[in-house]
Structure 1
Amino acid sequence: MKILFLVQGEGRGHLTQAIALGQILRRADHEIVGAMTGKSAGRIIPSFFKEQIQAPVYEFDAPCIAYNAKGKGMNLGRTIGTLLLNAPKYLRAVQFINRIACKAKPDVIICFYETYGGIYNFLYGSKVPMICIAHQYLLLHPRFIFPENSRFSKSVINFNSRITSWLAAKRLALSFREMESRNDLKITVVPPLIREEVLDLKPTCGDFFLVYMTHHSMSQKIIDWHLSHPGVSLHCFWDNAEANEVFQFDETLTFHRINSEKYLNMLASCRALVTTAGFESVCEAIYLGKPVMMVPVPNHFEQECNALDGVISGAGVRCKTFDLSVMLEYLPKHQDQSEKFRNWYKSGASRFVQEIEMISGDFTPVNH
């Protein structure tokens, strides 16, 4: 089959999922004919994606999350305002997606939580079936456990998930652990997607904490903690385009520009991972047997859900701030979940191929 990817470019999670699925599908003799990727102002698509996806990459303008200054998290009002202000530009992006789809003539489009996916289906009535893949679709599952007092936020994120998968053939919900599928809701629960580069790593236990943040504005919180605990060695990855590849703050605090190979090598050799609560980063850490401290971006409900789900799955501990003292206290209590997680993961490759190969030109779209 000829398969076209449509990938949300915000963060790294959906990009690495696309790389991993591409590896699986090529082993099954399917062809990835292109990857359409959303890019927001001031951000670039990481070089590792263009190098590893092994298909033409088509970039388009896409909405993104707006952050407050000094690490104070997501600014919902500015995020919505920017979306409305740039609506004409975003509609042109949907037109671009349609042109690429018409040119590539895929048998299936696979959408990695790109908002334009459902809008494209609605506006163009595409006859090409679309499969939507993301951890966010697990939040539509009746058994998913949400943070307390989150009724409104739950409604908002699930509304967005329905938009991204509007008129799609099925939703594949990535999960830390096994859970029954709900065919009545067109939700198929599947294992995480992890790149081959992670699977080949041989984990060791070093003496440093590895820190990953989705936005460099959060770095001040790390610096504040470090100044009170200079004896703890920290290596941090950020997206600060104005900084050098390596910024040595002092002897025990180093910031690195996002680099996939370097990050994965450090993940394999770190003592523990401290990260904003992105699904993909947590999965990689569990697979390698690394305890995780999950720090949801403030006002980012999806990450709050990821952190709670990660704790339930035994990944580690959650915290509202980058107070690494919480991780130091937690480490002696951690129970390694890597064997159980790896068994769940190993069942995934054949399931993804089967679910995708089942799709044909005659499909019943998701309409709710």
Structure 2
Amino acid sequence: MSLRCLFIVQGEGRGHLTQALALRHLLVEAGHRVEGTVVGQSRCRAVPSFFSETFEGTVSFVESPSFVPDGDDRSVRPWATFTHELARIPTFLDSLATIDAAVERHDPDVIVNFFEPLSGFYALRYRPAAPIVAVAHQYMFHHPAYAFPTGRWVQKWGAQAFASMTAWGAVRRLALSLYPAPDRPTDGLVVVPPLLRQALFEQPTGRTDSFFLVYILNSGYAEEVIRWHEQNPDVRLHCFWDRPVAAPVEHYD
């Protein structure tokens, strides 16, 4: 049976967008169809162009809740985030209506949510007939095999609460994991391997390049990477970061 699928994707960063591309390839290979995608975009960060250029199908964008970072672009300011996003509720209601219009237009058999918080609110407000499957590595936060840093119970609670919010209304949560862990059927949690794009498997084999690949979502963490590199100058790093004012390529040393 061929399924019609609709994706809802968090556009913050690149991980969820890349996972959506990878899953689309797998679904199409299996004979299913991805009719369209709704991407939640942050007011602070543009959705990378590679997704729209690569994804085959209708792509629409909606304004999505986002965190307010501190002045160093490192950590989240909880109260500022709450008050700022509270004032944007009318915008988010319009976003939910856009998602519902996409659901009505594409009439999917299943909705796949890649950690977009609007999906949880959409499920509560509109109660779609199509089942929702939530996909993200962050759902491992609810698995006992995931080890949180000790003594940081507030951060743990916040991470788990946000992950739960994105999956409101979902019939399954697919937790992407780098290591094996048992499923938790009573919690609707299924542990699956990471979603990797087909292009990764088409790279030349036998390469022996010796470097670490680093992706920095919040540019404020670059200073920590630089300090680590100064203490380990023999380790070559290739870093990618989301900083619009940066040059396309910068050589640190």
TM-score above 0.5 = yes
Measured on the aligned residues, the alpha-carbon RMSD in Å equals 2.2
- CA gap of 1:142–1:96, structure 2 versus 1, over 3 A, is same
Corresponding residue for residue 42 of structure 2:
40
Task: Establish whether residue 206 from structure 1 lines up as the match of residue 206 from structure 2.
Answer: no
Do structure 1's residue 243 and structure 2's residue 251 form an aligned pair?
A: no
Tell me, yes or no, if the aligned pair for 2:74 and 2:219 is still in contact at 8 Å.
no
Superposed, which structure 2 residues align to 1:273-284 within 5 Å? Answer: none
Listed as ranges, the matches of 1:85-100 within 5 Å are 85-100=87-102
Identity of aligned pairs, percent?
Answer: 35
Distance 1:229 1:89, change over 3 A: same
8 Å contact 1:36–1:59 — kept in the other structure?
yes
The aligned counterpart of 1:122 is 124
Aligned partner (choices 187, 190, 201) of residue 189 of structure 2:
187
* Paired amino acid for 1:39: Q
**Partner residue in 2 for 1:169:** 171
- Which residue number in structure 1 is paired with residue 140 of structure 2? 138
Q: What does residue range 266-305 of structure 1 map to in structure 2 within 5 Å?
A: none
When residues 146 and 103 of structure 1 are mapped into structure 2, their CA distance, relative to the original with a 3 A threshold, is same
Paired position in structure 1 for 2:220: 217
Question: Residue 52 of structure 2 aligns with which residue?
Answer: 50
Matched ranges for 1:107-118 at <5 A = 107-118=109-120
Q: Is the 8 A contact 1:60 1:96 kept in 2?
A: yes
Q: Matches of 2:187 and 2:234 in 1, distance apart?
A: 51
- Show the counterpart of 2:107: 105
Task: Determine whether 1:154 maps to 2:156.
Answer: yes
Relative to structure 1, is the Cα distance of residues 143 and 208 closer, same or farther in structure 2, using a 3 angstrom cutoff?
closer
The 3-state SS of whatever aligns with 1:100 is: helix
SS in 2 for 1:171: strand
Change (3 A) 1:203 1:72: farther
> Alpha carbons of 1:17 and 1:188: their partners in 2 closer, same or farther (altered >3 Å)?
same
The CA deviation string for residues 316-338 of structure 1, in whole angstroms up to 9 with x for no partner, is: xxxxxxxxxxxxxxxxxxxxxxx
Could you say if the C-alpha distance between residues 60 and 138 of structure 1 is closer, same or farther in structure 2, counting changes exceeding 3 Å? same
User: Structure 1: which 5+ residue stretches go unaligned?
Assistant: 253-368
**One-letter amino acid matched to 1:99:** A
Q: Does 1:30 align with 2:27?
A: no
TM-score, normalised to structure 1, is 0.62
Contact 1:7 1:38 in 2 (8 A): yes
Determine which structure has the larger helix proportion and give its number. 1
Q: 1:70·1:220 contact (CA, 8 Å) conserved in 2?
A: no
Long gaps (5+) in structure 2? none
CA separation of 1:158/1:216 partners in 2, compared to 1, >3 Å: closer, same or farther?
A: closer
User: Where do residues 268-347 of structure 1 align in structure 2 (5 Å cutoff)?
Assistant: none
Q: Distance in 2 between matches of 1:94 and 1:184?
A: 29
Offset, 1:182:
1.4
How many residue pairs align between the two structures?
A: 250
Change (3 A) 1:232 1:36: same
Q: 1:229 and 1:183 mapped to 2: Cα distance?
A: 44
The alignment's TM-score, normalised by the length of structure 2, stands at 0.89
Q: Distance in 2 between matches of 1:229 and 1:143?
A: 31
